A and B are shown apart, each in its own frame.
Chain A
Amino acid sequence: MKYRHIKKWILLAAIILSGIVSHFSGGINSYYLQIIIFIGINITLAVGLNLINGYTGQFSLGHAGFMAIGAYVAAYLSTEHSAGLFRALGGPNFFSITLLFISVLIAGGLAAAAAGLIVGVPSLRLKGDYLAIVTLGFGEIIRVLIQNTDAVGGPRGYSGIANYTTLFWTYSVAAITIYVVVSLIDSTYGRGFLTVRDDEVASEAVGISTTRYKVTAFVLGAFFAGVAGGLYAHSTTYINPSGFDFQRSIEIVVMVILGGMGSTAGVAFAAILLTLLLEYLRFVSGYQWLPEIIRRIAANRVIIYSLVLIALMLLRPQGLFGRLPRRGIPIGGATKRAKLPAHSA
């Protein structure tokens, strides 16, 4: 069996498995279930961002903005515009809810992808730190716009969203995201993403349209973030603009960097690890027998992010699972050649 067929079977198996687990998830404590769902959403977000930050080498700091668009569009559609669909299909039954949920998730993803295109086309002419600031700025602009939109509650947030997100949906989406990203990067077309990261000038020189690859990465990453946002909204049933701020973007970036930029498995693992760690820290901050200073540090998750970031960059910049970029031939390569054993002379 060929490798790419194996991937398809694994995808199918993952979806079926999440369906089975989801079917029997009624017995799981609802707090644990919520955490398991958050892990799945974070995997989707981090793997999607890894396509932009890791494989294509563009540094985006506005992923929470795309997530916000997906969350709001999906929540708005499923709350305000579900009546007609339900009437046509005989009330909210299994079939109509499934159809509604799939369509609002996709709509949220497409809206986020459109935003990704709008953000991507102008800003991808920029490099490195400029791009980071512009994406950060776009994330903030999106948040300010939502805050000023009264139809979705403005700064008060949007509540009354139906609770449609199940384990099955979350992990199917996560599995599809991983499948798409891995297959894309393994394909002939997808190798272009890696060349853009490794050497932009050389890629242009061999005829690869770097802008096109960058925009593609942005649009796809934004799409997955939008779908993840839709899942999130239908899991918490209440969303507000400040939940999608800069800190949320940083959280996803930390997952990508910790896992290793450009390693899908590593990033997915880091998403699981960080989500669990941060939940665990919530307990630690409640342990009365610990010294107060440790409890307070445990309660402040961002201090831990910042220390993880600095320590990783100083000690292991490639992340837990990433590989260091392969070095090109140095400019002084000729001297190296001269040192070869002189058997031909």
Chain B
Amino acid sequence: MTSTEFFQQLINGLSLGAFYALIALGYTMVYGVLRFINFAHGDVFMIGAFCGYYLSPRLLPHFTGGLTPLGPVAVLILTMLICALLGVTIEKLAYRPLRQRPKLTVLITAIGVSLFLEYGGQFVFGADPKSFPELMPDRAIAGTGALTITTTQLAAFIVTICLLVALTFIVKRTRLGMAMRALSNNPTAAALMGVNIDVVISFTFALGSALAGAGGILYALSYPSIDPLMGLLPGIKAFVAAVLGGIGNIPGAAVGGIILGVVETFVGGSAFSTYRDAIAFSLLIVILLFRPAGIFGRAHSEKV
């Protein structure tokens, strides 16, 4: 592999990693406050892509002339709002009634919700893949020499970084963010200090789902064939990324996503390309065996 190829693969890997990071953040935040894996998260990502598919033709014509660049931004923001609403609704209808029940019950419900979104999506949108509209001209950016960075890759980087900065601000600097951190530290103590648990949990789902929705749009820009089952594999891989970084740890999820994206791209470009989908799972098993708390996580001892 020449050094140009190496850097090219690195760029492709980083852009794939950006999508994983966006989805992984939702897993990690929900796990932080509720200690459970929201299986349906990958399907919120799928719904995000479909929102973009249906919104673009209706929204983009309104942005003409100098406003053209704002069109995709409007699609992105509206999609994030819809996905946030969807996340809150799922939490309210399916997970909230089960909050005091055993974890397994909630997990099975989450699997049920995930299947419902996937196959309900097949029912509503149709099972055949759809081609995602071009929100912006996809071309290589001039002046990068032998390396190619496309506009969609650049957009994915920029949007991901902006969202990460915004998220960090919300979690570290706002009252709700502080409440989220308190809840993930100790739910009982947080409730005793007057934190409204229901509001914080709804807010967490809204944030995570909005990020997944944004991830869905960015993913669909790079891989413009979307179908109702597209969320399953990226969803599970993003979960692996969250575990890799240390589940419950927000910067960890971002780093884990990037690592997974890069590793997968390099394997995909090697002789073992047909094993690509098995990589994430093998990685997961290795981490869980040798460092179950992840790269940034701290090991917890179990209290009896």
Question: Chain A interface (Cβ within 8 Å of chain B)?
Answer: 57, 59, 61, 122-123, 125-126, 128-130, 132-134, 136-138, 140-141, 144-145, 147-148, 201, 246, 250, 253, 257, 296-297, 300, 302-303, 305-310, 313-314, 317, 325
Could you tell me which residues of chain B, from 267 to 283, have a CB within 8 Å of some CB in chain A? 274-275, 277-278, 280-282
Question: By the criterion CB–CB under 8 Å, are B119 and A122 in contact?
Answer: no
Residues in chain A near residue B120, CB distance under 8 A: 303, 306
Cβ–Cβ contact B103 & A128, under 8 A:
yes
Q: Which label, helix, strand, loop or mixed, suits the secondary structure of the A interface?
A: helix
Comparing B67-75, B93-101, B139-147, B255-263, the segment that makes contact with chain A is B93-101
In the complex, how many angstroms separate the beta carbon of A63 from the nearest chain B beta carbon?
14
A337 CB → nearest B CB, Å: 22
CB within 8 A of B105: which of A133, A296, A313? Answer: A313
**Cβ A309 vs Cβ B105 within 8 A:** no
- B236 contact from A57, A128, A133, Cβ within 8 A: A133
State whether A129 and B292 are in contact (beta carbons under 8 Å apart), knowing that A144-B277, A250-B115, A307-B116 are contacts in the complex: no
Who on chain B is nearest to A147 by CB?
A: B274
- The minimal Cβ–Cβ distance linking A214 to chain B, given in whole angstroms, is 15
CB of A309 within 8 A of CB of B111, answer yes
When each residue 43-68 of chain B gets 1 if its CB lies under 8 Å from chain A and 0 otherwise, what string results? Answer: 00000000000000000000000000
Provide the residues of chain A in CB contact with B225, threshold 8 Å: none
Of B101, B114, B282, the contact of A141 (CB 8 Å cutoff): B282
A130 in contact with B288 (CB, 8 Å): yes
Main secondary structure of the interface of B (DSSP, over half): helix
B37 at the interface (CB under 8 A from A): yes
Check if A300 sits within 8 Å of B281, measured CB to CB.
no
Which residues of B98-152 have CB atoms within 8 Å of chain A's CB atoms? Answer: 98, 101-109, 111-116, 118-120, 122-123
Q: Are B288 and A129 in contact (CB under 8 A)?
A: no
Cα–Cα, bound, A305→B282 (Å): 29
- Which residue of A140, A246, A305, A309 is within 8 Å of B278 (Cβ)? A140
Residue of B nearest to A293 (CB): B123
**Residues on B with beta carbons closer than 8 Å to the beta carbon of A129:** 36-37, 103, 107
> In the complex the two chains form, is A137's CB within 8 Å of B113's CB?
no
- Which A-B residue pairs are the 6 nearest by beta carbons? A137-B281, A309-B112, A306-B115, A306-B116, A310-B112, A302-B119
Minimum CB–CB distance from B93 to chain A (whole Å) comes to 9
Size band of the B side of the interface?
A: 35 or more
Among candidates A123, A141, A303, A314, residue contacting B116 with C-beta atoms closer than 8 Å: A303
Chain B positions within 8 Å of A133 at CB level: 37, 236, 239, 284
A317 touches B112 (CB 8 A): no
Instruction: Give complex CA distance A253, B115 in Å.
Output: 13
Across the interface, which residues of A come within 8 angstroms of B36, CB to CB? 129
| Nearest B-chain residue to A57, judged by Cβ | B104
B217 within 8 A of partner (CB): no
Q: Pick the contact of B115: A122, A130, A305, A325 (CB < 8 A).
A: A305
- Interfacial residues, chain B to chain A (CB-CB below 8 A): 36-37, 94, 97-98, 101-109, 111-116, 118-120, 122-123, 232, 236, 239-240, 243, 274-275, 277-278, 280-282, 284-285, 288-289, 292, 302, 304
Cβ–Cβ < 8 Å partners of B239 in chain A? 133
Closest B residue to A140 using CB positions: B281
Instruction: State the CA gap A302–B116 with chains docked (Å).
Output: 8
Quick check: B116 and A296 within 8 Å, CB to CB?
A: no
Name the CB-closest residue of A to B274: A148
In the assembly, what is the distance between CA of A189 and CA of B194, in Å?
49
| Contact in complex: B109, A313 (CB < 8 Å) | yes
Q: Which residue of A lies closest to B108 (CB)?
A: A313
Q: Which residues of B contact A132 (CB under 8 A)?
A: 37, 107
Q: Assuming A140-B277, A306-B112, what are 17 further A-B pairs, CB within 8 angstroms?
A: A123-B285, A125-B292, A126-B288, A132-B107, A133-B236, A133-B284, A134-B281, A134-B285, A137-B280, A145-B278, A250-B115, A300-B119, A303-B119, A303-B120, A309-B112, A310-B109, A310-B116
- CB of B292 within 8 A of CB of A126, answer yes
B300 to chain A, nearest CB (A): 12
Residues of B within 8 Å of A314, CB to CB, are 94, 97-98, 109
- Nearest chain B CB to A261 CB, angstrom units: 8
Residue of A nearest to B110 (CB): A129
A123: which B residues are within 8 A, CB to CB?
A: 285, 288
Closest-by-CB residue of B relative to A317 is: B105
Q: Cα distance A59–B285 when bound, in Å?
A: 16
Cα of A329 to Cα of B107 in the assembled complex, Å: 25
Is the beta-carbon distance between A310 and B94 smaller than 8 angstroms? Answer: yes
CA distance A325 to B221 in the complex (A): 49
C-alpha gap A129/B106 in the complex (Å)? 10
- 13 A-B pairs in the complex with CB atoms less than 8 angstroms apart: A128-B104, A132-B107, A133-B236, A137-B280, A138-B281, A144-B278, A250-B111, A300-B123, A302-B118, A309-B109, A309-B115, A310-B109, A317-B105
